[in-house]
Structure 1
């Protein structure tokens, strides 16, 4: 009888230890999957001659295109280390994104800009995709993303510019491939960064109002197959801190967001549920970020007057990616 009890106790102990081992391994794997930046990765400033940099996008030529709000779009070539002017004037371009055909789509803002969304063909021709909704001019198109159907989602706040406003609401819009413009999201104060999840089922929006008591939220909207959205969820509230400007996603669905100021300025990495996984401090106030590099493991960051980069442990996500 005693031997049987000892045997049962021993078996139970082994069973518990086995489960502990499984749980430990699972926890370790989860922790490893959340490692975004390698321990030996260093943040490198590759260019610093701008007025106010914004909206980086990785192009089909493996160069990084970004806006200098001083009215030009620049191109950084990682192979040569040189930065050249791609388009000037840019119409006060801000957010940039490439479509499936490798054409640059740009949000052009106010404050002397064109207040429209344009596409630059490979021959340099600039075409207007949308500059009005129901006959009224946009406030100041800011940032954008494109889904697998070629639909463009962009934010239209008004931060600067004395131009008369024709649309009262600061909203998020959708441009369909046939040119139809839909006012999609209006339950925000000042929509800024927008990004679509890897599975195409969530539209993330940064509501960033710097006024006293203003919203500084990371929001998630269910994104339906027809391009419509469901009720929003608040994933994170920055409260009194500077909220999110621009953002991008990795292949795991994590959100890399440019936010914060002072010693809290940097890239905040959120899980799809809104949990902060890690933080990368930047020397200047960050505005936006995008993945680049042939292996999609280099994060480019616009901040202050500069363009930065850092190697990552995860691959970046994009609906359209250059294919050599």
Structure 2
């Protein structure tokens, strides 16, 4: 350690300890079904936990440390909001343009890295930094892993579109080595990597509580946001039923938000799908009934459930980290 150099290093604190504030001009939850009213009060406040990100992404609740991890992709950071006092710190800084994060049962954290184009893993305390664990498929480098989810059996599911290698603010420009954009399943115990399904541009991924249904957003239309990019046509969520042989035989359209592209999504204990969009978070039941919306005047990038009671929905909304609490019971 060099004291002279250490004195020049930046601090980690991004938000001082203190309670959250209620979001101004929040119009309230839009209820389309009484089923949602039983879970989420129409007048529930929307809490602002952090402001000042460039592109907040990948929220993941780490119960072992009572903190919410989330990425700020262009700032090359993984940050943490702490439940005990509301402070926010950068906990991996610098990082390799991190996007999605997921916490395994043992508290270890999986990351999607645009910069190193890999899936990496950190120890629960995040010391030592993320170590790449999935970098290639059949000898060819991955595109730019975007989102990741942990199945009940411990397998790691992740999407691999090209956004991180065509949008310089989210990574670095590069030519893809793979001819496909796919969803993968990685088994940490055996090291086996399986290509499960192909898409135009897979984005968010989530699994039902029993691990039998896999949800993936395909958002090739977002390629129009890349410099010189040509948008595709896909902007919806697909659902798959996991077969007995570990394949995905039942592929079907599930939903599409009315505005913007679906990005990240989360599935609650009821099997309801909470999906991000340009105008907030939209909610569908497992049987595809539209239940309502949490309107937000900022593009929502990803969501997750967490908090000590498990009843808080965390919302990564571009420049802010937000949260809303579900009813008890």
The question of a shared fold, defined as TM-score above 0.5 by the shorter chain, is answered with yes
Provide TM-score, normalisation by structure 2: 0.80
Structure 1 position 246 matched with structure 2 position 268:
no
Moved more, 208-217 or 128-137: 208-217
- Give the Å deviation of 1:46: 1.2
Task: Name which of 285, 288, 296 aligns with 2:302.
Answer: 288
Secondary structure of 1:286's counterpart equals: coil
Q: What does 1:13-28 correspond to in 2, within 5 Å? A: none
Partner of 1:58: 61
Q: Distance in 1 between matches of 2:132 and 2:192?
A: 13
Q: Distance in 1 between matches of 2:299 and 2:202?
A: 19
The answer (yes or no) to whether the contact 2:256–2:262 under 8 Å persists in 1 is: no
Pair member with larger Rg: 1
Q: What does 1:148-167 correspond to in 2, within 5 Å? A: 148-159=152-163, 160=167, 161-167=172-178
The answer (yes or no) to whether the contact 1:62–1:292 under 8 Å persists in 2 is: no
Structure 1 position 181 matched with structure 2 position 193:
yes
Q: Report Cα offsets for 1:95-133 as digits up to 9, x if no partner.
A: 101001101111111xxx111001101351332220100
Secondary structure of 2:34's counterpart equals: helix
Structure 1 position 193 matched with structure 2 position 204:
yes
Partner of 1:140: 144
CA shift in 2, pair 1:149/1:218, >3 Å = same
Q: Distance in 1 between matches of 2:56 and 2:239?
A: 26
Q: Distance in 1 between matches of 2:273 and 2:88?
A: 27
CA shift in 2, pair 1:108/1:226, >3 Å = farther
The answer (yes or no) to whether the contact 1:141–1:157 under 8 Å persists in 2 is: yes
Q: Distance in 1 between matches of 2:100 and 2:240?
A: 20
Structure 1 position 172 matched with structure 2 position 190:
no
Q: Provide structure 2 residue ranges, at least 5 long, that are not aligned to the other structure.
A: 1-32, 225-230
Q: Aligned residues, how many?
A: 277
The answer (yes or no) to whether the contact 1:251–1:314 under 8 Å persists in 2 is: no
- Give the Å deviation of 1:78: 2.2
Q: Report Cα offsets for 1:212-271 as digits up to 9, x if no partner.
A: 4511111001113443211311012447x41210011111100001112xxxx1000011
Partner of 2:28: none
- Give the Å deviation of 1:39: 2.8
Q: Distance in 2 between matches of 1:90 and 1:36?
A: 37
Q: Distance in 1 between matches of 2:180 and 2:200?
A: 8
Partner of 2:112: 107
CA shift in 2, pair 1:90/1:227, >3 Å = farther
Q: Distance in 2 between matches of 1:73 and 1:226?
A: 36
Q: What does 1:1-324 correspond to in 2, within 5 Å? A: 31-32=34-35, 35-59=38-62, 60-69=64-73, 70-109=75-114, 113-122=115-124, 124-125=127-128, 126-159=130-163, 160=167, 161-177=172-188, 178-186=190-198, 188-210=199-221, 211=224, 212=231, 214-238=233-257, 241-260=259-278, 265-313=279-327
Q: Distance in 2 between matches of 1:232 and 1:77?
A: 39
The answer (yes or no) to whether the contact 2:204–2:265 under 8 Å persists in 1 is: yes
Partner of 1:23: none
- Give the Å deviation of 1:282: 1.1
Q: Distance in 1 between matches of 2:48 and 2:157?
A: 30
Provide TM-score, normalisation by structure 1: 0.81
Partner of 1:319: none
